[in-house]
Structure 1
Amino acid sequence: MCLGFSRLHIRTSAYLRLLSSCFPLSPNRVIFSIPVLFSSLVWSGYLEYDQDVLVTEDWTHVGRVEPTEDLQLTFALKQQNVKLLEETLKQVSDPDSAQYGKHLSLDEVSSLVRPSLLTQKVVHHWLQSHGIRNCLTVHTQDFLQCTMTAEVAETLLPGSRFHRYTRDGQSVVRSSAPYSVHDDVHQHLDFVGGLHRFPAKRQEVIKEQRLSKAGIHLGVTPAILRARYNLTSTDVGKAHNNSQAVAQFLEQYYHPADLAEFMSIYGRSFQHLSQVDRVVGTQGGGKAGLEASLDIEYIMSTGANIPTWVFTNPGRHESQEPFLQWLILLSNMSGLPWVHTVSYGDDEDSLSTAYMMRINTEFMKAGVRGISLLFASGDSGAGCKHLGKGQNSFRPSFPASSPYVTTVGGTSFKNPFKVTYEVTDYISGGGFSNIFKMPDYQVSAVTGYLKTVATTLPPQSYFNVSGRAYPDIAALSDNYWVVINRVPVPWVSGTSASTPVVGGMLSLINDQRLLKGLPVLGFLNPLLYKLKGQALFDVTEGCHASCLDEQVQGNGFCAAPSWDPVTGWGTPNYPALLAALLVD
């Protein structure tokens, strides 16, 4: 039985197979063969031919968008010198390089990657020929954000069909089919944003715990973190030119009153700030979000007394992709915080390769400027993708799988009521990318792990043994206390907690480097992997969750001595890590 094509529920490669089966060659019908049609998809303007346009069941289809309704689309123009940008990032991030720490300014990055005059001319002419003149650019001139009607958008981007979908009170406009661009423009664009990529649904993890009268503590608080990671009351920010940030998406807001209440309860033993320094974006007035509250309260606990920004990108314009909007902001602001933590991710296989490659370039642009980007590894263990009857594979997450960010996994206390050593939190995301090759900085560490645990690894058909492996580092991710809507809430878990905790400690180390006149850490991974676990608590117990089937019985990957794809190199021993990273 053949599916209708008014709503495309499959990746384009599968779409092509379906075309072949539904429309066999006959004397009365002309149809491209699969290779020819695939070639035409790739070379006749389909920028994101492998983009998953699946509309998941949690989204409700409302109807077609009116032709006169305004949409906002983002055009990612081809950049110049991407290979040189990558080489520059390696040099400024490698402590053995003479260029280490010599980060670039936004103007210098712009001069390096700015699209060619030909690219700018062709794209602008293409848009103007369709009557589109309401466009904004960014400092680096590699993004254009344009407003147009749905009718114009569908003419501009053949194949696109804009529909409205709703979920939990949130409304988005997306195309139900792949889009193409004119052949003359294809080589000048990476992708067009605002057509695909439904917002991922957040998984806020609250685990029920039994309270123990004999327990020393009943959950993770700033005091517990400081005790475990050896932060003293004097380990607080002092530099005037230091700052840190968290990024929030999808109607996730914090409340200033919650932050003040949290610090009044849990911040009594160390100097701290009780207000956010700056909000970039629109701060909503509804109920506080658990995610936003968790991120801000804990980055300001470990990164105590350091000015903190909140980037809030609600995606209120229905055709925006809020994660993309955040990246565009980074391309357009010169004075940014040095550490950014992000608790956001999508399955790799739900995104087009073109989109992920361009996002990687945006991460490189941040890294060469000295910005440290930390992403949560996710809360689904190794992940699980069902390939067919009785067939599964692990499912890596992006941006966690990007080679150009530092990815943070999660741990639990061995005894949940005592400050003991840490073991793997079974939800901690980790694994191997199916898209990005293993970067040079981690080859030795990952190869060592694969050899050490060779006899207990999951079947290699489940993961890409040569892909970028993650996470890189970890911290406690289980049983946190969070103040939300003025009420302390226990048992909050997830790598959304461990990521700002690590981010705050890196901000403290930046603080000490700045006081000594040293450059900030920037992209941390090359240095982190050269430390080979020095100054970190190695996590060697526990496994994370994965597919449950006849081949993989309950576990994905397991922790092991040194690096592993569940907890990375381990969790921070702050004074030792400060000493290791406080070198020129």
Structure 2
Amino acid sequence: MLCSPVFLALLSLAVSVQASPYVLHEKRSHLPAGWTTSRRHDAAEHLPLRFGLRQSNVDQLDALLMDVADPESPNYGAHWAPEKVAATFAPSKASVDAVRAWLLAEGVPAAKMKIAPGKGWIQANVTVAHAERLLRTTYNVYTHAGGEQHVGCEKYDLPEHVASHVDLVTPSIHFDAVLRKRGGAAVPAKKIGLPGVGISPKTTGAFSTLFTELQHCDTQITPVCLRALYGLVYQPLASSKNSFGIVEYTPQAYVQSDLDMFNKNFSTAIVGKSPNLVSIDGGVVQNVQTGFDYNGESNLDLQYAMNLVNFAGYKQNVTLYQVGDIPQGASFNNLLDALDGSFCTFEGGDDPLNDGIYPDSDSYPNGFNGTSCGITKPANVISTSYGYNEADLSPFYTARQCAEYAKLGLMGVTVVYSSGDNGVAGNSDLCLNADGSQTEDGAIFNPSFPSTCPYVTAIGATQVSPGQNVTDPESACEQVIYSGGGFSNYFALPAYQKAAVAGYLKDHKPSYAAGIWNSTGGSRAYPDISANGANYVVAVNGKFARVFGTSASAPVVGAILTMVNDARLAVGKKPIGFINPSIYSAFFAGAFNDITQGGNQGCGTPGFAAVPGWDPVTGLGTPSFPKLLARWLLLP
């Protein structure tokens, strides 16, 4: 009997599926701190398996970004349209077909599969027992000391012919859920904006005497102090063409009366002005839960962001990206969904254990009944003061997200993240142990993410030291917080940073044992630059408080870069986009105030020390706006 070509093709596929051996794809060596294994997951329960497909041309992503971001490139500033970005990196048809054919051959009906609109994910709705057969694994239910539960496994395998098409599978080994405080109200684990979670500003409380003169900048940082420190005296000229975005995660919320109170003292021209709200996945400026833990971050970010980009008048709008509804919250991936429609995974992709899944009105009372996929054009500069420990996340998860920041860079967007407030330790002062776990008594340095992503600009913290003036050199912040900095355990050293890091290791390499930090010289180092992070005057719930943190440093740098963009746009040039290749180049030498005093202790050590040149405490130093402006105006 003659066989049709279609039959032969199916037979060939079936043979290849059977012949392809399984290989280990991801494995976890330990349970994160606070988690215990409760029980084997019920085999009959349903599980939404999501396969993150390997994107096309990711191996070229770095070179493509450098082509538009390197100041020596003839294509500097030739940023891509979003449509070109989406088309270039969409997973190939071969990847979609390979994973789909394997699932069909393994008994997953086509009706139980969904392919995301951007073809980045395939979801298979299967039972736990079926998932275990597909992945050669065992699914457990894990319980945290705070009461939250998590479904996952210790490791999983994929057929060899499928593994090359898949970045990661969820749920699996990933424990990138963020937890509530013990004893707090029960909330979803994925709210990265939850008070007490991740990078958050610190306060020493309210005070009654408010100083507005430069001679008090060692005890109270105000906008006039920052303008004097960094030379930011600039009136916007092209505000209608420019944009600056601040990201907040519900339930964090700013208070308009506090914003007005701040501006009555420091910028009367913008009293009554509000940021332009972009609600992402039901993001709302809630006013039910108040206090420093809920209002401190957003008030800090917006009071300084709006003031610093509006000198002697109100011209430049600031966009507030408020992410996540009250019942569910959100993650960084939910923000990226809204900024880049090709990353949006509605109908099949965001990790239900780590990301907000929308619409959620069926799961939560008063939940957001919609989805925010590519709903807004990204601002030219986006500042975020939240973060994870790198070890909270899997290498596949961080790499996939980091690639999205590179895509934003291709589109001409500058992304800045605060570097953390615990020196060489991670959030909550956790340090690593030899098995990869995180504890307070760990001895191994614990880097932060997304700061370690080579496609964001990581911002550390400095201070005007007690008794010093704004005309004196700053030092690394050692009041209340320590500037986060160090070397990634996941990401390789980017080319733009090689000379700076090599110089640091040659002249100032620490004497710590190689086992407590990544001393190879081949990993991404951070922060990139810094700004003041101590003694900020912030209006919170009708009183002024002193606030500390790289949470303050990031929006200050964002505001400075926004004003650089304004000047370029005013003369018909493009926004500066991804700035790291520029700021590390010889052309920008001397454009930063070098910080040579202080350190960033943590993990039972003095941490690293600020030294001449780049260092893993304050990076290249603090910005000199006049020098940066002059250099960027000379670039195409």
Q: TM-score range by the shorter chain?
A: 0.7 to 0.9
Letter in 1 for 2:616: P
Answering whether residue 169 of structure 2 is matched by residue 192 of structure 1, we say yes
- Aligned partners of 2:163, 2:562: CA distance in 1, in Å? 41
CA contact (8 A) 1:253 1:283 kept: no
Letter in 2 for 1:387: A
CA contact (8 A) 1:103 1:370 kept: yes
Deviations 1:327-349, CA, capped at 9 Å, x for gaps? 33333137211111222333333
- Aligned partners of 2:94, 2:86: CA distance in 1, in Å? 16
- Structure 2 matches for 1:529-544, cutoff 5 A? 529-530=584-585, 531-544=587-600
- Aligned partners of 2:86, 2:153: CA distance in 1, in Å? 35
Answering whether residue 33 of structure 2 is matched by residue 56 of structure 1, we say yes
Q: 1:230 to 1:434 in 2, by over 3 A?
A: same
Q: CA RMSD in A?
A: 3.6
Normalising by structure 1, report the TM-score: 0.79
Q: 1:116 to 1:255 in 2, by over 3 A?
A: same
Deviation at 1:155, TM superposition (A): 6.5
Q: Which residue number in structure 1 is paired with residue 391 of structure 2?
A: 349
Letter in 2 for 1:84: Q
Answering whether residue 157 of structure 2 is matched by residue 161 of structure 1, we say no
CA contact (8 A) 1:194 1:321 kept: no
Answering whether residue 91 of structure 2 is matched by residue 115 of structure 1, we say yes
Q: Could you say what secondary structure the match of 1:387 adopts?
A: coil
Q: Which residue number in structure 1 is paired with residue 332 of structure 2?
A: 323
Q: Which residue number in structure 2 is paired with residue 21 of structure 1?
A: none
Q: Which residue number in structure 2 is paired with residue 442 of structure 1?
A: 497
Deviation at 1:462, TM superposition (A): 3.0
- Structure 2 matches for 1:229-378, cutoff 5 A? 229-232=230-233, 234-236=234-236, 238-249=238-249, 251-268=251-268, 273-284=273-284, 285=286, 286-287=288-289, 288-304=294-310, 305-314=315-324, 322-332=331-341, 333=374, 335-378=377-420
Deviation at 1:82, TM superposition (A): 1.4
Q: Which residue number in structure 1 is paired with residue 432 of structure 2?
A: 385
Q: 1:150 to 1:481 in 2, by over 3 A?
A: farther
Q: 1:317 to 1:76 in 2, by over 3 A?
A: farther
**Higher mean C-alpha deviation, range 97-106 or range 145-154:** 145-154
Letter in 1 for 2:22: S
Answering whether residue 524 of structure 2 is matched by residue 480 of structure 1, we say no
Letter in 2 for 1:223: V
Q: Could you say what secondary structure the match of 1:505 adopts?
A: helix
- Aligned partners of 1:127, 1:309: CA distance in 2, in Å? 43
- Aligned partners of 1:69, 1:483: CA distance in 2, in Å? 49
Deviation at 1:475, TM superposition (A): 0.3
CA contact (8 A) 1:53 1:197 kept: no
Q: Which residue number in structure 1 is paired with residue 474 of structure 2?
A: 422
- Aligned partners of 2:49, 2:278: CA distance in 1, in Å? 27
- Aligned partners of 1:312, 1:148: CA distance in 2, in Å? 34
CA contact (8 A) 2:264 2:271 kept: no
Letter in 1 for 2:395: T
Q: Could you say what secondary structure the match of 2:73 adopts?
A: coil
Q: 1:391 to 1:307 in 2, by over 3 A?
A: closer
Q: Could you say what secondary structure the match of 1:468 adopts?
A: strand
- Aligned partners of 1:316, 1:144: CA distance in 2, in Å? 28
Q: 1:173 to 1:99 in 2, by over 3 A?
A: same
Deviation at 1:186, TM superposition (A): 2.5
- Aligned partners of 2:276, 2:138: CA distance in 1, in Å? 41
Q: Which residue number in structure 1 is paired with residue 362 of structure 2?
A: none
- Aligned partners of 1:237, 1:279: CA distance in 2, in Å? 28
- Aligned partners of 2:210, 2:384: CA distance in 1, in Å? 36
Q: 1:240 to 1:144 in 2, by over 3 A?
A: farther
- Aligned partners of 1:416, 1:135: CA distance in 2, in Å? 63
Deviation at 1:449, TM superposition (A): 2.0
Q: Which residue number in structure 2 is paired with residue 399 of structure 1?
A: 450
**Higher mean C-alpha deviation, range 507-516 or range 343-352:** 343-352
Deviations 1:32-86, CA, capped at 9 Å, x for gaps? xxxxxxxxxx97354332x4662432x6989888888877665321111112222
Q: Which residue number in structure 2 is paired with residue 219 of structure 1?
A: 220
Letter in 2 for 1:414: S
Letter in 2 for 1:423: S
Q: Which residue number in structure 2 is paired with residue 20 of structure 1?
A: none
Q: Could you say what secondary structure the match of 1:507 adopts?
A: helix
Answering whether residue 612 of structure 2 is matched by residue 561 of structure 1, we say yes
- Aligned partners of 1:74, 1:308: CA distance in 2, in Å? 36
- Structure 2 matches for 1:438-477, cutoff 5 A? 438-454=493-509, 457-465=511-519, 466=521, 467-477=523-533
Q: How high is the sequence identity, in percent, across the aligned residues?
A: 32
Deviation at 1:571, TM superposition (A): 0.8
CA contact (8 A) 1:409 1:429 kept: yes
Number of aligned residue pairs? 530
Deviations 1:467-526, CA, capped at 9 Å, x for gaps? 211111000111223334x33352221111101110111111112211211111111011
- Structure 2 matches for 1:62-73, cutoff 5 A? none
Letter in 2 for 1:413: V
Q: Which residue number in structure 2 is paired with residue 12 of structure 1?
A: none
Q: Which residue number in structure 2 is paired with residue 546 of structure 1?
A: 602
Q: Could you say what secondary structure the match of 2:241 adopts?
A: coil
Deviations 1:331-381, CA, capped at 9 Å, x for gaps? 313721111122233333333222222223222211111111111111121
Q: Which structure 2 segments of 5+ residues have no match?
A: 1-19, 179-196, 342-373, 426-430
CA contact (8 A) 1:481 1:488 kept: no
Q: 1:529 to 1:119 in 2, by over 3 A?
A: same
- Aligned partners of 1:188, 1:317: CA distance in 2, in Å? 35
- Aligned partners of 1:398, 1:377: CA distance in 2, in Å? 8
Letter in 2 for 1:468: R
- Aligned partners of 1:220, 1:70: CA distance in 2, in Å? 54
**Higher mean C-alpha deviation, range 557-566 or range 147-156:** 147-156
- Aligned partners of 1:416, 1:267: CA distance in 2, in Å? 27
Normalising by structure 2, report the TM-score: 0.73
Q: 1:347 to 1:240 in 2, by over 3 A?
A: same
Q: Could you say what secondary structure the match of 1:47 adopts?
A: strand
- Structure 2 matches for 1:26-45, cutoff 5 A? 44=22
Deviation at 1:100, TM superposition (A): 0.7
